[in-house]
Structure 1
């Protein structure tokens, strides 16, 4: 059984912590790998590497950054089937859905940020006082500490590192403790096209993430997670005035009036609710229906759940695979019990 390692300063590095945790394939319930639970010392090594790399990467031109990021996109695309298999094993996502709905948009996002590196905007220079010219200069921030969730591991990693690196920053990223595999794979692939230390991945639990956020080096913190986690991160970042980006969980209601096309509405509500096994911050979690249409909507959604939405194993032609982890399964079952 393989044991994962952190990716720091351009190479795989064993954590100094002896603590590990099992990674479980949601489709089989079997342990397929072990992952380190990194400590503050491991985080510090990654931060020092990123800080050193920043002195080089911040001087790269937008064109150089664009070229590197486009090469990363090309390399991921060439090995996309390998990445799909890794993501499915770690998350339980249906292979066909991941191929159709995630890989293409993810590659497009990487290439978008590669182009955006050459299109930074700013206010024009002007003379607001005689003899003085005022202007805004866009400069890289520094090291970015980033934390991603388990529901879209590879895509959320891209949403973090691509804009940060495109803007000339360096990254220390901590993926979810249950789904680190695709992020580590991606970092290793990226290293061919980036200076050592520009992308670093540290694997661990909440305490690892806390050490990441509280470390003195990063100038910006970005997290995708729960509202509770966002509040804790905001409080921690405020102590030394780190820049902050929060993408937090939502509660997405759907409103239906009786003059709507109920059949079409319920078809798309079912997709919105069940896509990615409902593990999505924009999943349709509540349906508010005008009283006169209530019974019809209940019947139509019941039909979708019973006979239309396909559920099964990741290698089957289905929309819904297993949920990601035991805690999530217990949470879903709690809604029914």
Structure 2
């Protein structure tokens, strides 16, 4: 069978058949009187063997060894092919994920595509500074690969990079909230903490609802991050956790300030003061009692003033002196406001 016919029947181009011949991989056993290559049935069989080995991923060199060396053992080579194939598949899947993220960002121009790819690569950098710079340098009007940003924020350890990611996700107007909500249900406490912090930076009603979900989380940090954000937004449901923070001394100054802001715009001041008075009466922990007194200074209204006045006679001298100092400061402030100019 001449080379042209072999090419038509096998699907291997005549150029490749000549290349196989030059390598000694598939050499025609005969020649016609005109000098044309003539393939025998055994030559055709060998050609199909070569194509089968190439389909497995063998190089031409390894295919020749497999066919020509009697002691050639395929086990190691097949194992290597499996590893290389897995690596290639992983690389292809990574590329597919990148393309999907670029597509999800809905780029309008090639400049948007390049910007998105640059950001995606930067998020994989080992340098925290490089990651942060890439996030902060995004065009405010450009597309955002939100799912990649969410994935990054749920894994980010560096607080500065995390802050940049919070800013970037806040720009997305809540588009990453469904993915962040999955993070709230993670069995890994660090993931829940990161998800809560990211959601707290998004000023939407949907974000507020998600934060309310974790006010009873088993982890104190998750509860407290949610409570600080909710209280700043006027959510009365954050009050128990904020009071818990004051009593326990965990970010108690922030918690007291948020309680003050919350009760200034809500009708809960008297109720909050009542709960704080109960905690004062039910604990002998001197530092905790002092923190409660200091927090009362942030609560507006007559109820907190009356409570502080009573505390000026407390048996604990430090508590009494602190309450007296607060009352005096408040009194001077009211006097100045009443003095006509």
TM-score, normalised with respect to structure 2: 0.22
Q: Which has the higher contact order (CA 8 A, sep 6+)?
A: 1
Of structures 1 and 2, the larger Rg is shown by 2
The structure where strand makes up a greater share of residues is: 1
The structure where helix makes up a greater share of residues is: 2
